[in-house]
Structure 1
Amino acid sequence: MTYLGIDLGTSGLRALLISGDGTPIGTSEHHYNVSHPHSGWSEQDPAQWIAALEAAMADLRAAHPAFADLRGIGVAGHMHGATLLDETGDVLRPCILWNDTRSHLEAAELDQIAGVRDLSGNIVFPGFTAPKLSWVAKHEPEIFARVAKVLLPAAYLNFYLTGAYVADMSDSAGTAWLDVGARDWSADLLAAGGMRRDQMPDLVEGSAHAGELRADLAARWGLNGPVTIAGGAGDNAAAACGIGAVAEGQGFVSLGTSGVVLAARDGYKPAPETALHTFCHAIPNRWYQMGVMLSATDSLNWLGRITGTAPRDLTAPLGETLQAPTDLRFLPYLSGERTPHNDADIRGSFTGIGADTTRDDLTRAVLEGVAFGLRDSFDALRATGATLDQLIAIGGGTGSRYWLKLIATVLGVPLSLPKGGEFGAALGAARLGMAAATGADAETLMTPPDLGDTIMPDTALRADFDAAYAKFRAAYAGIKAVQ
């Protein structure tokens, strides 16, 4: 028997086929575009997701005979996106994505309503789904009047696969319509956003049975038997399942375009005042919290663009020996910030540049600014009682050993690196598909990957970086005062 994990990302879809013992068999990736019709807008045509899915299935069928023995599918998706369907299931408009900021006014209005933070466990961020629908109601009333269902991107793929409207709790927790503690849609939150429960999909746990693969798809894909579709997960919950972060004390730092520090929690411990996200996990009776910064490797990519240098060529001259903090300060707020500031308007800055400043100095300042931004999230998690004595480090930025040593020192915890192979959202989604199809205990399937190197903090430089972090925090206060 084989199982399939689908990672529906913002820029592309990745499908991973695994065996019954969890061994990867094969993968396929297909990419698509994001549309930006206006400044701050970010949209995508769901038809692109379906085209990518069908192409990936064709690839796996052609390359791997074991694909025919598929028995379970799990879908992980980028969160918060508003996919609006009419009563026949047709898409009414392009999906408004997680990084779309047009609804910042609507988000602020919802966030001020009494009880919203208490029920949702979160600040209502502009990227969440509820304010998007408030924006549509205000600016596209003819479309809003026809909305029969609102599906997140992963739930839309579930709909395509099964013909049923079903979503999981981890993904739905990012809508601001879910009572995250009770793991159910909230009548009060829906009413606050002008929505109804019948416009929501049915809810199941991420590892639970959500439906069966449509017969026509099974026939077209050449499958031998019935295929169970799992509830699935939001992308970060699925990534946590892929690296085995499902219980208290387990977590990871993701150094991708955005930066994430995530901690699995055994109980529901919301702290919206910190701007942490508190969401349901993809397995029953578990939650997770995460701090999110919007420009992690994106900050290094930006420096690369303006200097005409590839990011790897920016970091390579630094070597692997950590240096004391630079006197430069870089605030990594190129697109605003979530944790801990919840500030869509703040922008980044360099300070301390002199005639003797070199490209390497600028690079070090960028790496330090991102590390300090991650510490903002790390400290917020610690303040909620999360115990994080070690983190697994994932994401493209982990290719820089200097950056890893810097982050380990700034956070004050060891960072462990997976040896390689599969450990991301697609693997987590495949494990959810296996749990739903076999009835196996989901938690036992969520094992950590084999770990390679562990990067230890540089204790000799810890006090210096603590002092530099304090200056970083002061610099934010200063720039905010003049913006």
Structure 2
Amino acid sequence: MYLGLDLGTSGLKGLVIDEGGAVQAEASAPLRVARPAPGWSEQDPADWITAAQAVLRALSAKVDMGAIAGIGLSGQMHGATALDASDKVLRPCILWNDTRASVQAARLDADPRFRAISGNIVFPGFTAPKLVWMADEEPDLFGQVAKVLLPKDYLRLWLTGAHVAEMSDAAGTSWLDVGARDWSDDLLAATGLGRDQMPALVEGSAPSGGLRDALAQEFGLRAGIPVAGGAGDNAATAIGLGIARGGQGFVSLGTSGVLFAATDGYAPAPETAVHTFCHALPGTWHQMGVILAATDALNWFAGIAGASAEDLTAGLGELQSPGRALFLPYLGGERTPLNDAGIRGAFVGLDHATDRNAATRAVMEGVVYALVDCQQALAATGTQLDTLLAAGGGARSDYWLSALATALDLPVQVPQAGDYGAALGAARLGLMAATGAGADAMPLPPIARSFDPVTDRKQAFQDGYARFRKAQMAIKELS
């Protein structure tokens, strides 16, 4: 059997699969985000370890942990986990959706080497500007930094004792030469750091170290079993869905929203604000359009409305044409295509007819339009998608998926019941690291349903998107 551990923003999930890929057990533990100042988002890495311990204990009550032959990791990207020379955490981890380093990001992005070497804009949420923020605002702590780890790689340190990262997650730091799949000494030096402060690099399907004896004894695992390099959360989700070839993609409606496209080679286009990252398999890459609030936007509105997101969406029925009300889902800035940490959300076009259902649809449509923005940005790089698989908690909403298919003018396919997310991708990478298996270990899932574009609603969604773009430009001016 093989274990995948997925360190998300709101929780840590463990999933055990057998040799054929069937799920044998799963468990999860919640995590909380601290927001000590506007635009800040932090977690204590000690909480990740506590969550991992809880998950491993829960799994040990369900399966024979001694039968696990490999472990894979996935996790939230971009977080800056700064350690001193004794591996002590210097400060809470600055997370992916933290925008405090917008000034530092702009400063780095103005250096043409960053886009040329990393293949990406330096976004405020990426790792490098956070370390520059530390240098500016916490110089005493910055002077003690001996290693910088991404969140899942701090979990790896606990598991193996090794400082190791892998290509897909490292690509989101602004320190990686994404084409060469290696740290860039020039980019590190530009942020006051050196290669010795970075973890070693492996491919996602390769072993990164062996499980420590003490943990093996504590949780009934075998000492020394390989821990795979793993992947950032979106690349791991792609592995879970079997997506690694050009034309294949998925749309994720999670806390954030992602339009993910596997590519046949490295083709950066940073001016589009599309992310061009290494994939989790050797010699592969992918592109992503990323929005910062998807289900996060719906959950925010649910809190305002005093109802659960499930209650808000349960009575929406079949897809309707967009109404007059618009919602811009920029609760904490935006990435693709705006690259604007300061822009903020808004309702536009409210009137007496805007009831709870109309406002709910407007929020969901706003997320859809933001993903159309991502589709347009991907198209500007030459990347086209044939079909999309649906992932994330928001994919449980038929209304949302029908709206997406109609606005994107693409079929959106829903896998059969089962977990095809990042934890499964991590477990598959653990299998690959333990057995040497390749892409044959990540088949496409069987499809339960397909949402086709609703023909008589397409023009209405095109018109709604045009209004959304006008409102977007106005809100940019106000923000």
| Cα displacement (A) at 1:48 | 1.1
AA aligned to 1:265 is T
Distance in 2, matches of 1:338 and 1:329, equals 20
The whole-number CA distance in structure 2 between the counterparts of 1:11 and 1:351 is: 30
Which of the residues 110, 116, 119 maps onto 2:117?
119
The residue that corresponds to 2:445 in the other structure is 449
Correspondences of 1:141-160 after superposition (within 5 Å): 141-160=139-158
Structure 2 counterpart of 1:431, from 428, 433, 448: 428
Per-residue deviation at 1:450? 1.5
* Paired residue type of 2:189: A
* Partner residue, 2:31: 32
CA-to-aligned-CA distance 1:259-297 (integer Å, 9 cap, x gap): 111001120111111111111001011111111111212
Partner of 2:296: 298
Cross-structure match for 1:482: 478
Any conservation in 2 of the 1:71–1:225 contact (CA below 8 Å)? Answer: no
Residue 342 in structure 1 maps to residue 339 in structure 2: yes
What are the equivalent positions in structure 2 for 1:258-297 lying under 5 Å apart? 258-297=256-295
Question: How many Å apart are 1:308 and its aligned residue?
Answer: 1.7
What runs of 5+ residues in structure 1 fail to find an aligned partner?
A: none
Give the structure 2 partner of residue 45 of structure 1: 44
**Displacement after TM superposition at 1:224 (Å):** 4.2
* Partner residue, 2:79: 81
The number of aligned residues is 479
- Equivalence for 2:8: 9
When normalised by structure 2's length, the TM-score is 0.97
The answer to whether structure 1 residue 248 and structure 2 residue 246 are counterparts is yes
Extract unaligned runs of 5+ from structure 2: none
2:222 and 2:324 mapped to 1: Cα distance? 63
- The residue correspondences of 1:220-239 to structure 2 (distance < 5 A) are 220-224=218-222, 226-239=224-237
Report the secondary structure of 2:69's partner residue.
strand
Distance 2:472 2:216 in 1: 54
**Residues 198-234 of structure 1 deviation map (CA, whole Å, 9 limit, x = unaligned):** 0000000000111111122222222346401111111
Residue identity over aligned pairs, in percent, reads: 57
Q: Tell me the equivalent position of 2:70.
A: 72
Residue pairs, 1:159-178, within 5 angstroms = 159-178=157-176
> Structure 1 CA distance, aligned partners of 2:227 and 2:39?
35
Q: Hey, what does 2:400 align to over in structure 1?
A: 403
TM-score (norm 1): 0.97
**Is the 1:71–1:226 contact (alpha carbons within 8 Å) kept by the matching residues of 2?**
no
Q: Secondary structure at the match of 1:263?
A: strand
Cα-to-partner distance string for 1:112-140 (whole Å, 9 max, x where unaligned): 01211111111111111101110111111
2:462 is the alignment partner of 1:466: yes
Instruction: Give the CA deviation at 1:178.
Output: 0.2
In structure 2, the partner of 1:317 is 315
**Superposed CA offset, 1:67-96 (max 9, x none):** 211111111011111111111222222111
Q: State the one-letter code of the partner of 2:180.
A: A
Over aligned residue pairs, what C-alpha RMSD do you find?
A: 1.3
Q: Distance in 1 between matches of 2:311 and 2:122?
A: 39
Find the residue that maps to 1:460 and give its secondary structure: helix
Shift of 1:382: 2.0
Q: CA deviation at 1:461?
A: 2.0
Q: Secondary structure at the match of 1:461?
A: helix
Contact preservation (8 Å) 2:289, 2:374: yes
2:235 corresponds to 1:215:
no
**Which letter maps to 1:436?**
A
Q: Deviations over 1:342-395 (max 9, x none)?
A: 111111222222223222222222222111111000121122222212100112
